[in-house]
Amino acid sequence: MTTTSPMPLPPEAELDAVTLPMPLARLLLRFVEETPEVCRRHQFYTLLQSQLVPLLPHTVAVCGAYDRRRRDLVHDVFNSIVLPPWLHLARSDSPLLNRLQQTWLDGGGEPLSLRLQARPGAAVHDEAQALHELGVERLLVHGVSRPERLHEISGLYVLAGPLPPPGIDEIRLMRLIVHALHAAYVRTLDIEREVGTAARPRPAQPQPMRRSVQPQVTPREAQILSWVREGKNNAEIGEALGISALTVKNHIQKILRKLGASNRAHAVAMAMQMRLLDEGPGGL
């Protein structure tokens, strides 16, 4: 992979970022530095989990980009919690997604933070109610449009998750990161599409019967991965499990070797794809 220089922030964002508290400024800089290297789907998911979650905590991210062939926004969902099978937030006819897009347009294209509340009389398959029951407390929404043409949306992004800690201006942070996030997502889509087009189907040949190989992740390792998914560090995981931080580190190194993962976030993404983390941290 070729090395590219970090994506610069827009001039107005650079001025705004200067006044951020130092911890948030470091997280923002790290996120912006990582985005140019993202070009595949698993890398984009890792970016969300390892760089964006510490900055803007979320458990579900809905990312949409304009597809010229379909002449419409095409969405994708990246989640670190198990969603109900019927909850298809990536569909163009999602009532919740359509309401959020219209609300964003009605607000002049400014970032939105919308609180989710329990609604006892909600319909059986109400998307907002389902997210609330999964622990989602707010929806953070922002998009990218063509200059001076707000309704010509290039990308729309929804981060669903917990309320921000006191004193965190997530509206401001969303405004700062949305263009870097959009660039990384669009590049991922373009490269994945090119790779898919370049891959020519091979003639079908009989293959010997083989048993599928599943990495043998132990219950303890799956439990540690679940805590990693929740954003806990080694010391916090060790305290929760009654073991030392060094023991946790050794477990994580074994997990990385078993899964062939490059880092903790990559390991969580692979484990979720293999459905190894259906239970919560305390459920094993």
Question: How far is it, in rounded angstroms, from Cα 256 to Cα 176?
Answer: 33
**pLDDT at site 167:** 83
pTM flag (> 0.75): no
**What pLDDT score does 24 carry?**
86
Structural domains in the chain, sorted by start: 11-198 (3.30.450.40), 219-273 (1.10.10.10)
Give the tens place of pLDDT for each residue, 232-252. Answer: 888 889 888 989 988 999 998
Burial zone of 246 (CB within 10 Å; 0-12 exposed, 13-18 middle, 19+ buried): exposed
With b for 16 or more beta-carbon neighbours within 10 A and e for fewer, the 229-242 pattern comes to: bbebebeebbebbe
CA distance 223 to 247: 13
Note the pLDDT of residue 204. Answer: 45
Selection from 112, 101, 99, 113 nearest residue 145 by Cα: 101
Question: Residue 37's pLDDT is what?
Answer: 87
User: How many Cβ atoms from other residues are within 10 Å of residue 44's Cβ?
Assistant: 24
Q: Return the pLDDT at 111.
A: 96
29 by Cβ neighbours in 10 Å (0-12 / 13-18 / 19+) ranks as: middle
Mean pLDDT in order along the chain per 10 residues (284 residues): 45 52 87 89 89 92 91 89 86 90 95 87 81 93 91 95 89 94 93 68 45 69 86 85 90 87 79 69 47
